[in-house]
């Protein structure tokens, strides 16, 4: 089963092990980005719901008491919709980081040491997003709820934006804040809002659900516009321009346009599952585009290729065997979780 290949050591970590015709270095490169895509999709709709929570909670200064109560009720529905899931969804961020550390420790060390302030920002936003609903529910005081509602929205928007900037910096191999990275960060926020709108259309009823197609369509249009800007900024770099003009990136960009069109049609015609699936496809296409543009280099800042950065045998073989046992268990857990809480929530349900 194991077929270690002598590739002529390229670096101290160089090792190439093949299982069933697939190099484990390539397999783990794909697995790590698959973990990232799952996290961005599952927790992405939680982030999107947080942004919509802020938009649906705005009331005019002269709003009547009934209008304020309606907004408050819709905010409760937003929290109740994601309540059973968001803790579990965040596990995929840990799985992504753990997979990167276990399979490509040199890349993990380089990325996390170069972007530690950015990643502390992501953690701070995630903590804020996690704390805010708990405090929000503790008191009926309007000012209290206003500030904790703002904290929830700030964490829900800040985390995906900073993660998008991190992904952009990873792709470019830079440590500062590049304009293309900012574009990718904003695009991830828009994509999360589109996913959040599709999720709320599925999980809620009444005026809140009816408003979601408009939110989703606008967010999808914004996502396409922001990705286009980011691609233009990336293309200003000659090496990246050549990579973007290769067949795989062109196919992924074309597929994203088709998926966005599918999202809009499904949202307008009232097919929430198809809408959510299209949002998932857009997330997968975005993460795949980053992976394709990187490969075979896995960390442009150091120049390490996938083959050079993978841990050696037999560690990678043990890691692969362990993952083959654990990942199906994790997927089964999520299948049970989403089955147990399937269907729309009760309109009177709270977080």
Per residue in 113-160, pLDDT (tens digit) is 999 899 999 999 999 998 998 888 888 888 888 899 999 999 999 999
Q: How confident is the model at residue 351 (pLDDT cuts 50, 70, 90)?
A: low
pLDDT at site 88: 86
pTM for the complete prediction? 0.90
pLDDT at site 124: 95
- Measured torsion, CA atoms of residues 199, 203, 208, 214, in degrees rounded to the nearest 10: 30
pLDDT at site 238: 85
Helix (H, G, I), strand (E, B) or coil at 16: strand
126 dihedral zone (left: phi>0; alpha: psi -120 to 50; beta): alpha
**Rg of the chain, C-alpha, whole Å:** 21
Through-space distance between the first and last CA atoms of the chain, rounded to whole angstroms:
50
Distance separating alpha carbons of residues 264 and 224, to the nearest angstrom: 12
Distance separating alpha carbons of residues 4 and 307, to the nearest angstrom: 12
Handedness of CA 104, 106, 109, 110 (dihedral sign): negative
pLDDT at site 11: 44
Average pLDDT of the chain, as a whole number? 89
109 contact partners, CB below 8 Å, separation of at least 6: none
Looking at the chain, the whole-number percentage of residues with pLDDT higher than 90 is 64
Q: How confident is the model at residue 12 (pLDDT cuts 50, 70, 90)?
A: very low
80 contact partners, CB below 8 Å, separation of at least 6: 345, 346, 349, 350, 351
pLDDT tops 60 at residue 206: yes
Give pLDDT tens digits for 13-24. Answer: 445 788 877 889
Q: What DSSP assignment string belongs to 262-281?
A: HHHHHHHHT-HHHHHHHHHH
pLDDT tops 50 at residue 307: yes
52 contact partners, CB below 8 Å, separation of at least 6: 78, 193, 196, 197, 200, 212, 215
pLDDT tops 90 at residue 226: yes
Question: Which of 54-68, 228-242, 243-257 is the least confident region?
Answer: 54-68
pLDDT tops 70 at residue 283: yes
pLDDT at site 60: 58
pLDDT at site 5: 39
Q: What DSSP assignment string belongs to 100-167?
A: HHHH-HHHHHHHHHHTHHHHHHHHHHHHHHHHHHHHHTT---HHHHHHHHHHHHHHHHHHHHHHHHHH
* Angle at which helices 142-172 and 179-203 cross, to 10°: 130
Q: Find where tokens 């969804």 sit.
A: 89
Distance separating alpha carbons of residues 243 and 161, to the nearest angstrom: 25
Contact call for residues 101 and 32 (beta carbons, < 8 A): no
Q: How confident is the model at residue 7 (pLDDT cuts 50, 70, 90)?
A: very low
Torsions phi, psi for 23 (to 5 deg): -65, 130
């Amino acid at each position: 089963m194991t077929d270690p290949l002598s590739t002529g050591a390229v670096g101290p970590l160089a090792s190439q092990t093949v299982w069933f015709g697939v190099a484990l270095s390539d397999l783990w490169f794909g697995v790590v980005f698959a973990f990232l895509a799952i996290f961005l999709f599952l927790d992405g709709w939680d982030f999107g719901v947080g942004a919509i929570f802020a938009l649906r909670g705005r009331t005019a200064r002269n709003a009547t008491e009934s209008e304020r109560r309606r907004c408050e009720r819709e905010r409760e529905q937003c929290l109740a919709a994601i309540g059973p899931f968001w803790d579990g969804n965040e596990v995929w961020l840990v799985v992504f980081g753990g997979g990167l550390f276990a399979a490509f420790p040199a890349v993990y060390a380089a990325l996390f040491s170069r972007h530690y302030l950015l990643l502390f920002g992501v953690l701070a936003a995630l903590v804020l997003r996690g704390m805010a609903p708990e405090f929000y529910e503790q008191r009926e005081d309007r000012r209290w709820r206003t500030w904790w509602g703002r904290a929830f929205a700030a964490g829900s928007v800040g985390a995906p934006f900073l993660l998008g900037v991190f992904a952009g910096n990873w792709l470019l191999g830079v440590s500062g804040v590049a304009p293309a990275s900012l574009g990718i960060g904003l695009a991830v926020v828009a994509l999360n809002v589109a996913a959040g709108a599709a999720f709320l259309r599925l999980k809620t009823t009444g005026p809140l659900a009816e408003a979601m197609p408009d939110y989703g369509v606008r967010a999808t249009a914004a996502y396409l516009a922001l990705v286009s800007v980011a691609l233009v900024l990336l293309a200003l770099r000659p090496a990246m321009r050549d990579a973007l003009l290769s067949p795989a990136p062109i196919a992924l960009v074309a597929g994203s346009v088709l998926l966005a069109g599918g999202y809009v049609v499904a949202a307008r015609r009232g097919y929430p599952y198809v809408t959510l699936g299209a949002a998932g496809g857009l997330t997968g296409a975005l993460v795949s585009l980053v992976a394709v543009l990187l490969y075979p280099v896995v960390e442009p800042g150091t120049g390490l290729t996938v083959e050079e950065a993978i841990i050696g045998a037999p560690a990678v073989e043990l890691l692969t065997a362990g993952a083959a046992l654990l990942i199906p268990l994790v997927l089964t857990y999520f299948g049970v979780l989403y089955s147990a809480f399937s269907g729309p929530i009760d309109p009177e349900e709270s977080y």
